[in-house]
A and B are shown apart, each in its own frame.
Chain A
Amino acid sequence: MTSPDRRIDDATAASLTQNTEPWLSCDDCFALTDSCVDDLLAHRSAPSEAMRVHLAACPACREDVTSLLELVAAEHGVDPATVAPLLML
């Protein structure tokens, strides 16, 4: 069944075929979120490839991590703008 008011454009087609390997579940991503943020702030270490791929493909988890990074950075007097690029999103 098709709907006249919803369309697949090129960006949507790209999203539907986005590569989400290596696999990481939302639960595993959530479990890693806090250590990812602290490691990023303490050592400027980028997330693992699996985590980066997951964050690129999952808006909800991406919001969780980005927000946590912003909050914790501010709590420790770090400008979030200086560390957010390390998420490579």
Chain B
Amino acid sequence: MLATDEWLDDLRATGTRHDDAVRRLHELMLRGARHQVARMRATTPELTGSVAEDVIAHAANEAVVSVLGKLESFEGRSRFTTWAFKFAIFHTATEVRRTVWRDREIPMDMVPDVPATNASPSLAVEGSEFAAAVGRALDTELTAHQRAVAVALLIDEVPIDVLADQLGSNRNALYKTLHDARVRLRRVLTEQGYLEVSKTAPATRTNSQERRNR
């Protein structure tokens, strides 16, 4: 395997040396893409044959473009190959999710119900009580956008990159929206006595007895 400096020198060169380096980079990105497809195949049965090959080819090409476009931002905090592989993995995982969800409907306007009971009798009251409080807060305390994003990501389990495509947004912005929604929900539930905040630890669930004692 080439050292980081050799990769950088070859990719920054011109002529045949540069072209050979780009060809090696493409092979590296193909390896990363195949690895990611193999990982996701276990939970994605449709990821076989030409579908998988198309994803690998497309993602590897995207990764080569990303690496070459960001080459001057590489700071050497990792090996070059580790840095490059992350683009192959990112583009492949994103492409797989897009492919799988391409024909699925993404409902964006509903708040789910709260179940009446839980499997464990000891958790049934506490669990449903907490879930009910979270459901109420979800319904009343969040903005429409926060609620839609939280429901899609955490209840409908829409992949964040797929939802970003749907909303014309990106992973970073949606995660920030979800973070703000969680902060708001935690604040409200803490005020209502369902969560408590210690000086040394993040907010944790309280039980019914603790709430009654306040």
Contact = CB atoms under 8 A, between A and B. Distances in A.
Q: Are the chains A and B members of one assembly?
A: yes
A33 B87 CA distance: 10
A89 interface: no
B82 A7 contact: no
Interface in B13-68: 32, 35-36, 39
Interface string A1-14: 11110111110111
Main secondary structure of the interface of B (DSSP, over half): helix
A75 B81 contact: yes
Interface string B138-179: 100000000000110011100111000000000110011011
Chain A binding site: helix, strand, loop or mixed by DSSP? helix
B118 A8 contact: no
Interface size class of B (residues with CB under 8 A): 35 or more
Interface residues of A, number: 40
B200 interface: no
B66 to A, nearest CB: 11
Contacts of A21: 183, 202
A43 B36 CA distance: 25
B86 A60 contact: no
A10 B113 contact: no
Contacts of B112: 2-3, 6-8, 12
Interface of A: 1-4, 6-10, 12-21, 23, 25-27, 30, 33-35, 37-38, 58-60, 63-64, 67-68, 70-72, 75
